[in-house]
Amino acid sequence: MIRVVSGIFFLLLAGLGPMITLPAAHAENLPGEPVTIRFLTYHNSPPFIINEASRLGMTFTLADTLSARSNGQYYFKVEILPRKRLDLVLKDGCLCVVPWVNPEWFNEPNAPPYPFTDGYQRDSNAVISRISQKVEYKSPFSLYGLSVAGLQGTQWGLVDTLVARGLIIKEEVPRFFLALKMVVAGRADAAILPTSIAAYLIERHKLASELYISSRPHSVFARHFLVSQPPGQPNLPLYQFLQAQVPSLLANPPWDVPL
């Protein structure tokens, strides 16, 4: 559960390499030991990854929770990879799970039809502006004539169409927090970033008195597990196990992110 509280803001989001083959995975595990599942993520921003060395963040909490709930069947080992590297790992085949993703983000032409569980967390893309110059989002045309900051490579649907036509200026930055800083400094009129990330960053950096979150988000989506198993190898009941966890993760998310 993410709880972010300030004088104006309360957010509760709940419910909202060489590849390993299956024989290799079994070779690492003695009889009776859990099977190691690579828990691959490219979401390396807080609150998903807060401190890798200390294993602090929602991704580590989720991996540990799943390991415990498997009753010794699986051990979910977190690995942080760039998105392009992760795509190559999946293409080559691996015994792995990718958390926090949506099927629409893996629909490139010729991409393999990966199995996804149902969504276990609801999230959205927030439109954030300065309190002194609020942007109330109703449609992409609400951003007409404005500069909007966001993470490099992020796709915004019709907003990108308006960007291509020169009707909106898109300012791409390498980190989510930089998008918020641009808004605070007046270098961008608005920013679009995941609400789960925005909530954490706004509270962590005490920006609630300076930033306004539109009552209507740019978009809403669910986060799912992508499940991959090496082709031609006996399947483990991994997908079934993860799918069975979805209702409890929606109802009682195990993460309680420290701010």
What per-residue confidence (pLDDT) applies to 62?
98
Residue 90, in any domain of the structure: yes
Tell me which H or E stretch contains 176: helix 176-184
Residue 257 domain flag: no
Strand pairing report for 74-80 and 96-101: unpaired
Tokens, residue 213: 């979150």
Q: What is the pLDDT of residue 11?
A: 40
252 touches 40 (CB < 8 A): no
Are 57 and 133 in a shared domain? no
Nearest to 9 by CA among 193, 208, 214: 208
User: E strand or H helix at 160, and its extent?
Assistant: helix 158-164
Claim to verify: residue 167 and residue 207 sit in the same structural domain = yes
Looking at the domain assignment, is residue 258 inside a domain?
no
Q: Which amino acid is at 124?
A: S
User: Residue 46's pLDDT is what?
Assistant: 96
Same domain, 108 and 7: yes
Same-domain pairing of 6 and 111: yes
212-258 pLDDT, tens digit per residue, is: 999 999 999 999 999 999 887 777 899 999 999 999 999 999 987 64
Closest CA to 227 of 101, 136, 133: 101
Phi, psi of 55 (to 5 degrees): 55, 50
Looking at the domain assignment, is residue 259 inside a domain? no
pLDDT band at 211 (very low <50, low <70, confident <90, very high): very high
Looking at residue 108, its pLDDT comes to 79
Asked if residue 33 and residue 161 are part of one domain, the reply reads: no
Q: Is residue 19 part of a domain?
A: yes
At 42 the pLDDT is 97
CATH value at residue 98: 3.40.190.10
pTM: 0.85
pLDDT higher than threshold 70 for residue 53: yes
Tell me, yes or no, whether 29 and 128 share the same domain: no
* One domain for residues 20 and 86: yes
Task: Mark whether 112 and 38 lie in a shared domain.
Answer: yes
Residue 6 has pLDDT above 80, yes or no: no
> pLDDT tens digits, residue range 55-114?
999 999 999 999 999 999 999 999 999 999 999 999 988 999 999 999 999 987 777 788
Residues 60 and 134 in one domain: no
Looking at the fold, whether 103 and 231 belong to one and the same domain comes out as: yes
Calculate mean pLDDT across residues 7-24.
37
Give the type of residue at 206: K
Q: Which of 17-26, 95-104, 110-119, 205-214 has the lowest mean pLDDT?
A: 17-26
Number of domains in the chain: 2
Angle at 138 between CA 134 and CA 139, to 5 degrees: 120
Answer yes or no: is 230 within a domain. Answer: yes
Residue 32 sits in the same domain as residue 108:
yes
Mean pLDDT of 196-204: 96
* Same structural domain, 211 and 228: no
Q: Is residue 256 part of a domain?
A: no
Letter for the amino acid at 195?
T
Per the domain annotation, does 75 fall within a domain? yes
Report CA torsion sign: 138, 141, 147, 151: positive
Range of the domain at 78: 2-121+222-251
pLDDT at residue 16 greater than cutoff 70: no
Better-predicted residue by pLDDT, 109 or 16: 109
Residue 28 reports pLDDT greater than 80: no
